[in-house]
Structure formats: C-alpha cells, structure tokens
Chain A
C-alpha cells in the first residue's frame, strides 16, 4: 500500500471520527490542532486504524507518535 493511499484512509477515519467532511489532515497534524481530539477520541482513532489496516499497535509504538505523519510511517512499516 502506498503512503498516499494510507494517508487517504487515515483522513477518512479522522473525518468520520470528528464528523467533519472538510477536515484536512497533513503530516504535522497533532492533537493540539483538533479541538475534539481528547483521550477518548484518541482511543477510538487507534481502534479504527487497527481495524482499517488489520494490525495491532503496541504501547511503545503508540507512545512515540508525535503526529499523523508518524502514524502513517508506522502503519507503512508494519504493513511492509
């Protein structure tokens, strides 16, 4: 799966989670940029990604993520 394709799917998950079809996600987007991105939303995002890409994250991986770009990189690594 290409990084673009992964990013596209991530964007879809974010738009669904925050119920905002115009939401634009870039590599640098982090929890500070989206008002409703609290710890509950975070749990839901991680669950949705795991389901979307059919994988499981471990605590180290999730703990190290600083923004959406790193999330996309992580997914790419895990799918490789």
Chain B
C-alpha cells in the first residue's frame, strides 16, 4: 500500500473537507477548479470525497458530480441526465470485471466506444476510463493462461485493447497496475462488495484517488521537467573527491555497486523519455566529470546531463542557476539527494522544487523516485523522446556561437528551417502538451485539453497554428502554438467580427532568441489577411512566470489599445492591436527559411 494512513482516518478528513469545502480547502483560491464527473456501477460516495481531498492536497480545487449508483449507462445515454448540465471537463468511468457482460474483448471495447462517443459530445471533455483488474478466481486453475478463451485471458485482452485502441480524448486509469501493486488478494474485498457494493477494498480508495489526481495535474500544466541529482552516494557509492574516479563503487559484481548502476539505468530511462537531467553537487567540477569519463561502471554519460553544476556554492544558489540556464521554472524541478540536510535546504530556500524523500538504502532509490509520481505528463511526444539529443546539440551550438562574430552571424550559421501552419491531427498530443506546459513564453496562459483543441480545429472561427523548427544540429519538432479567434468568437470577447484575436501564443523556451516569433507572425498576418481581418488583437495576461513576454506585442510592432469592454483601467485587459489594412506584410523574415 502506498498510502500509509488508515482509511477510516482519511475518510474523516475527507468528510470534514466535503462538509465545509470553502473553509477547509488548502488549495489556493485562485487554483484551477476541476469539474469532474465520477460514474460507476458500484458505490462511490466515499471515493468522490476522498478524490476531492486528494485533488485539494495536490493544489487543485474541484467540483465533483457523483453518478447514480449502478447508473453508468443511464447517466450517459439519457440526454436529459444531470451529467450534461454539470458540463464536466473530465468524466471518470470507474469499472470492475463484473461490469463486463460480453464474451469477447472486441465487443467490450465496442460497447465502451458507444459510451465514449456519447460523452465526447460534451465540449472539451476528457474521459478517464479505468481498465479492469483481472479477478483472482481461476475456474480453469493453472490452465487460465493456457487458453485465449479463459476468463483471465478475456480481461487481459480487454486491458490490452484499451491501451491499443482508445481515442485520444480517452486516458486509461490503470487499476490493473494499481491492484497488482498493492496485491490483488487485498484489492478484492468480497465482504465490502456484497455488503455495500464497494468495487474494491476501501483500503485503496486513497491510492486510487491519488492515481486519478496524477492524471489530472498535467492537464492543468502542473508537471515537472527536470531531474536534478546529487553525485556522491546518490549516483555512486563513495566520494569521488576522496576515492578518485576509479575508487568510487560502481562495480557490477558488488551488490552496492550494482544497485547504484541500476539507479543510473532508471535515470537514463527517464532521460530517454524526455526528462532533462541536471547535476547539483558539492565537488570540484573536474573531479566530478572525471568519474563520468573514466569509470567503466558509469551508465550515465556527460552527454545525458543538460546542466552540470559541481562547485562549492550552496545548493540553493546552484538550483537557481540551473533553472535559469535551462529556462525552466523552479517548480518544474525534482531534486534527488541522499543528504537530508541538503534536501532541507532546498525545501526551505527553493519552495517550488519537488524534493524526493530519498531512503537510506540505494536499492530502494528507484522505488522512491518511481512511486513519487514526480514525472506525470499528459503524453510523451516525439519531441520529448528527442529532447536530450537537442540539449546535446546545444553544446555544439554554443561552440558555434563562440566562433561567430555577432549574434546575427550566429543565427545565420545555424541554418534554421521552419514551418508555421495549421496543426495536424497527428501533432495534437504535442500541441496540447506545449499549451499546458509552457509557463514563461506564454502570453495568456490559457490551457486547453486535446479534446477542446480538436473541436477548435473543426471550427472555422478558429485557427490553430503549429510552428516546427530544425537547424543544422537538431530537429526540434513542434515548438510553438498559436490559437487565433475570428468572426463571432472575436465578437464574443468585445471586438469586431472583422478582428482576429490571438487567444494563445506560447513557445518552448528551448528556442528563445531565434526569431521564431517574427517568423510565426508573418503567418499570423497572412492568416488575418486571408480571413479579411482589419486588425490583429493581442492580449498579455501577466502571471508570476511570464514576465519575459510583457513587451512581446510592442516588439512585434503592435500598438497599445483601449479595452472596448472595460473603460475602467483597473479591470481593463492589456491589449495591443496591429492594423492589417494599413500595413504591408511584415518585411523582416528573420533567419528561418520556410520549409
């Protein structure tokens, strides 16, 4: 069990929160408010309260719709059901094996598909579909795995098909994994099922709710991007400054050395999926790097590390340096250090950083990091899988920058090529990911779910533009998103229906200062002209993190504009406009060649 508190005390806390939500909630008042509907054929009254508690702990406010007992189909298939009035952003379908009434996995997926289709009529909805913990009873005994027609094989196949065939607005809640993790013999509680129709043992209500919360967080931009590691006794056994690069223990024939190597292997796997790696260590830089270069037991190489900070400064200052250098916020960094004193320093002086409680035994490092759920993303995109490569190419790029006489020459020498065009279906997950992850280069910080973007793509009053970039060193993929509103969508915001409103403009900070924004603006201008627009209107909504784009529209040649809706300055939006008719196409094309 991951949750160590007893369920009866958790229920008491959750009940208290449910009774007096406004007073008891700890998530900030301005935190995103998640509207989530929970539908199930078993009893969920306790689950919904626990879920609200779990979301609150994670910093999210929520409103929860609780489906009728035994009423999944009723709630979904009846157009007049209160579910549709509730207008959820997320619908969670919590199921168990007893919900499966058909004989084949294909039929089950088909009948779930009918429910998903119907639910997808809710604008912007994301569906969390649980898979099915395989039951532990085996009518065929040890032969259950011998035949594809056995009951065990049926549930395994359904679970596999769910993973394989779910549409992009359906995310799978992996209860099969969770039940296996805690032990199925404990997960299934027949007494609770027959007595009060609990779908699984109440002991795991919190674990299940936390799993849902982990899926919700990245939808609201709450994700970590970087793993920041200590070196001595974290990545290897020993102290490189004293033991020397060959004296530290990473011996595959030694139990401790093997455990450290396994941990490095896990970290390497994180890096391969797009987690940025950084080092924050008290060491001489040369000594520390020597271990990477010379010790044959090292699994990680210097090329895996995007920012290497080894010196005698305090770790909090190094952490700020790392955040600045990588262009990411402190609150997207995860810190892993075997030394509790250093962890305490980071907790105190770098409050946004996620600090992992590192156990004393190296053999449990992987489990601590893995079960922390620190790297929950809404998707893994091709860009993520290429990220480390990009950071490596950065070094070569820096070398080039040192050669170039001035910045302009440098940009020219990069031989950048790019495109800015309507986002394609296949790019949707990455488009959504970038919109939800970008905090710094983000003009309005509006978050959209995949499903919402999909409906905007179909709507002629919207244009969703994706910018892709490559240079001589690497292929960045999709690095900037722009969403434009025109016609009645612009009108709804108080503008003319001949205006184009820039609803979203965000960009990955990996490609700052490359002229990507000038390049993309040409396309925005063309789009405006093609739509017969008279003005392009941009808005800047300041947040704690997006100060870098405060002067963005002014730099592009926009002029400050009065808010047509709010004459009162205190409530007025920060608006800028660009007259399309008066001006010729922006002449400056930058150094990016159009693909």
Contacts and interface: CB of A to CB of B under 8 A. Distances in A.
Interface of A: 16, 39-40, 42-44, 47-48, 51, 56-59, 62-63
Contacts of B196: 39, 42-43
Interface of B: 6-8, 11-12, 15, 45-46, 191, 194-196, 202
Given A40-B45, A40-B46, A43-B46, A48 B8 contact: yes
Given A58-B191, A62-B195, A44 B11 contact: yes
A62 B190 CA distance: 13
21 contacts: A16-B12, A40-B45, A42-B196, A43-B196, A43-B202, A44-B11, A44-B15, A47-B7, A47-B8, A47-B11, A47-B202, A48-B8, A51-B6, A56-B191, A58-B191, A59-B191, A59-B194, A59-B195, A62-B191, A62-B195, A63-B195
A79 to B, nearest CB: 18
A51 B8 contact: yes
B540 to A, nearest CB: 48
Contacts of B45: 40
A79 B194 CA distance: 24
Given A40-B46, A44-B8, 20 more contacts: A16-B12, A39-B196, A40-B45, A42-B196, A43-B196, A44-B11, A44-B15, A47-B7, A47-B11, A47-B202, A48-B8, A51-B8, A56-B191, A57-B191, A58-B191, A59-B191, A59-B194, A62-B191, A62-B195, A63-B195
A62 B202 CA distance: 16
Contacts of A51: 6, 8
B187 to A, nearest CB: 15
Contacts of A44: 8, 11, 15
Contacts of A43: 46, 196, 202
B1 to A, nearest CB: 14
Nearest to B45: A40
A56 B202 CA distance: 13
Nearest to A58: B191
A71 to B, nearest CB: 14
A48 B196 CA distance: 15
Contacts of A16: 12
Shortest Cβ-Cβ A-B pairs, 6 listed: A47-B8, A48-B8, A51-B8, A59-B194, A43-B196, A59-B195
